[in-house]
């Protein structure tokens, strides 16, 4: 029996909206005010969503449970599978010391603190955002900057400012992949749209970073290098996101940016070398004791070039594997098979004369969640005409990006000298380390899918549509707020992605534009979220000073988020910018 979504169960739009917002409020308040751990906060929010969907919005209990399970399955594969295996690779490189060699090689390229900051916090940080995400780039670059002599406040705050423009494509495109799943919009169109917003800020952020560190005049002294770093990141970011997909955007753009900046510094030098690691124009008395166990890399000093090549080798292998896994031809090779005509024993052809293909049950078995598949119906005014929702889970165990990462990690580990038993031991340890992250991801996706199938996001979207022409700015800042409170662009997309689509459709805006704006605006909230600030204070060994870090970065975060909202507004309403919108209205 088909169940139609109810958007105003209380006959009072305000009361219905407040009730629909309860799971989101539970999630945000648990994290922001009660400091409950993320996995517990996500489970509490999921529990409240189940109760409200069933008892307030009239969703049958079996449908609510099935929707949550469908979301949980999507949380494990592909999202959790990506996170688990990329952290596994990172741990392998850390355990054998090659990651330390990588740090040393970056620090020796230039003595100028501004250029070191540009290379490490922006370029190298973007690489780790693309490869791992989830706090890894701030932890890595903050630790490196402390080792180079930057103060804890400078190392923490600047690492957070730099880790913005790449975030939407972080963790091999996880925020965009998740956004597509939650909203039901096309993944490639979302990638293209975000790739037409963030490249502007990939050019702005490096200038902003050096200005925040050294001041306006010192920034202008190295503007050619900043421009090289920004443009050489922004152009690949646009090209890869628009013509390949979200998975390798940051990895490729960061590698190209690092190569271009390093090459440029071989032929260009600033007129004066800036050697101070203190923040300009700001009293900065933050200090931290040096780590007595931290020693220079003997391997690097003794055998520089081969050591650096060995240190980069696992990440190069990762790039090759993930690039191959991201191509549609590779996916088609394993996920589908030709549809055979039983009479002629040859492949059937479609009306265009191309071979027809169907899902391959070996490499891409499907699971239909029969309780909700075609059994839940969205109705006006959320959609023009009643529309039934699909719920088919594709278990693409081989062509999932996480599988490519795992194979890359195994190959890289073997080449680094690990034995099979050692790799197994490290994998079990990694699984234990990320256990809570996996629970969080599963619970968050379960919450997002339940919100979508129960119509809670539609109820909130109808309320937010009341902002009218101001919604492009409002929707962008909603993404910022989501990341600021949850600590994750992925989590913000899960919470608000469906709402953005519903609201955009109500206002006649492109749903692709506003869903992408949620992610693009969200990246600027990354520098003020509690999770990132704690990671920064921990990496720089400046414990207990999270409030000082927050106060330092808050202004930068808000202003940059408003600038993103301004761009989205131009895309929505101003003709010269509207051609950048994909997906139509």
Torsions phi, psi of 148, nearest 5?
A: -85, -5
Note the pLDDT tens digit of each residue in 336-373.
888 887 777 777 877 777 788 888 889 999 999 999 99
Q: Nearest Cα to 71, choosing from 100, 45, 106, 109?
A: 45
How large is the angle between the packed helices 13-32 and 471-486, nearest 10 degrees?
Answer: 40
- 173 to 260, 320, 532: CA distances (angstroms): 23, 16, 19
Q: What is the DSSP letter of 524?
A: G
Does 335 have pLDDT greater than 70? yes
User: Which one-letter DSSP state was computed for residue 118?
Assistant: I
Q: Which of 63, 66, 55, 8 is nearest to 380 (CA)?
A: 8
How far CA 91 is from CA of 84, 408, 425, 430, 543, in Å, comes to: 11, 13, 12, 8, 24
d(CA 118, CA 122): 5
Note if the bond before 78 is cis, omega within 30 degrees: yes
What's residue 30's pLDDT?
83
Report whether pLDDT(585) > 60: no
Per-residue model confidence (pLDDT) at position 440? 84
Q: What is the mean pLDDT of the chain?
A: 87
pTM: 0.76
Tokens 């191959």, residue? 324
Three-state secondary-structure class, residue 396: coil
Say what percent of the chain tops pLDDT 70. Answer: 94
Alpha-carbon separation of residue 563 from 432, 474, 556, 579 (angstroms): 40, 12, 11, 19
User: 394 φ, ψ to 5°?
Assistant: -100, 115
Given a cut of 50, is residue 119 above it in pLDDT?
yes
Name the least confident of 68-82, 121-135, 194-208, 242-256.
121-135
Cβ 66 vs Cβ 391: under 8 Å: yes
Residue 16 clears pLDDT 70, i.e. is over it: yes
Average pLDDT value for residue range 90-119? 85
Q: Which tens digits make up the pLDDT trace of 254-313?
A: 999 999 999 999 999 999 999 888 888 776 666 654 444 444 444 444 456 788 888 889
Contacts of 237 (CB under 8 A, 6+ apart): 165, 166, 169, 195, 198, 199, 202, 249, 250, 253
């Amino acid at each position: 029996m088909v169940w139609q979504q109810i958007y105003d169960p209380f006959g009072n739009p305000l009361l219905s909206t407040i009730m629909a917002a309860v799971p989101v409020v539970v999630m945000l308040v648990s994290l922001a005010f009660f400091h409950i751990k993320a996995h517990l906060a996500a489970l509490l929010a999921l529990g409240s969503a189940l109760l409200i969907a069933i008892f307030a919005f009239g969703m049958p209990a079996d449908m609510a449970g099935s929707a949550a399970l469908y979301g949980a399955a999507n949380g494990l594969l592909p999202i959790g599978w990506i996170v688990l295996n990329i952290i596994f690779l990172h741990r392998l490189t850390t355990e054998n010391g090659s990651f330390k060699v990588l740090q040393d090689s970056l620090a020796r390229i230039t003595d100028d603190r501004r250029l070191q900051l540009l290379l490490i916090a922006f370029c190298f940080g973007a690489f780790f955002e693309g490869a791992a995400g989830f706090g890894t780039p701030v932890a890595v670059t903050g630790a490196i900057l402390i080792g180079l002599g930057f103060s804890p406040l400078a190392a923490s705050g600047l690492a957070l400012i730099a880790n913005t423009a790449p975030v939407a494509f972080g963790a091999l495109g996880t925020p965009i992949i998740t956004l597509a799943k939650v909203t039901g919009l096309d993944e490639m169109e979302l990638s293209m749209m975000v790739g037409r917003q963030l490249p502007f800020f990939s050019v702005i952020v490096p200038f902003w970073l050096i200005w925040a560190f050294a001041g306006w005049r010192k920034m202008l002294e190295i503007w050619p290098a900043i421009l090289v770093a920004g443009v050489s990141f922004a152009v690949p970011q646009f090209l890869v996101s628009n013509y390949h997909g979200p998975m390798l955007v940051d990895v490729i753009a960061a590698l190209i940016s690092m190569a271009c900046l390093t090459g440029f510094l071989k032929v260009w030098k600033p007129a004066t070398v800036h050697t101070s690691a203190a923040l300009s124009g700001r009293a900065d008395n933050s200090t931290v004791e040096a780590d007595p166990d931290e020693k220079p890399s003997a391997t690097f000093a003794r055998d520089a070039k081969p050591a650096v090549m060995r240190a980069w080798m696992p990440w190069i292998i990762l790039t090759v594997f993930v690039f191959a896994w991201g191509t549609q031809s590779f996916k088609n090779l394993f996920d589908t098979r030709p549809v055979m005509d039983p009479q002629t024993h040859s492949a059937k052809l479609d009306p265009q004369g191309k071979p027809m293909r169907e899902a391959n049950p070996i490499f891409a078995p499907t699971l239909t969640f029969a309780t909700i598949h075609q059994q839940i119906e969205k109705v006006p005014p959320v959609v023009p005409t009643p529309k039934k929702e699909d719920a088919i889970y594709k278990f693409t165990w081989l062509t999932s990006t996480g599988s490519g990462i795992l194979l890359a990690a195994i190959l890289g580990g073997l080449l680094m000298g690990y034995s099979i038993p050692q790799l197994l031991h490290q994998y079990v340890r990694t699984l234990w380390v990320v256990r809570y992250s996996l629970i969080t991801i599963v619970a968050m996706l379960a919450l997002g899918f339940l919100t979508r199938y129960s119509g809670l996001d539609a109820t909130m979207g109808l309320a937010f549509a009341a902002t009218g022409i101001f919604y492009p700015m409002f929707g962008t800042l909603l993404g910022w707020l989501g990341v600021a409170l949850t600590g994750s662009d992925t989590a913000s997309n899960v919470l608000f992605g469906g709402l953005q689509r519903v609201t955009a459709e109500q206002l006649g805006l492109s749903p692709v534009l506003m869903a992408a704006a949620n992610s693009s605006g969200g990246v600027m909230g990354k520098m003020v979220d509690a999770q990132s600030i704690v990671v920064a204070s921990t990496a720089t060994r400046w414990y207990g000073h999270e409030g000082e870090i927050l106060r330092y970065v808050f202004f930068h975060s808000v202003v940059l988020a408003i600038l993103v909202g301004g761009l989205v507004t131009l895309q929505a309403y101003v003709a010269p910018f509207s051609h950048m919108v994909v997906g139509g209205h």
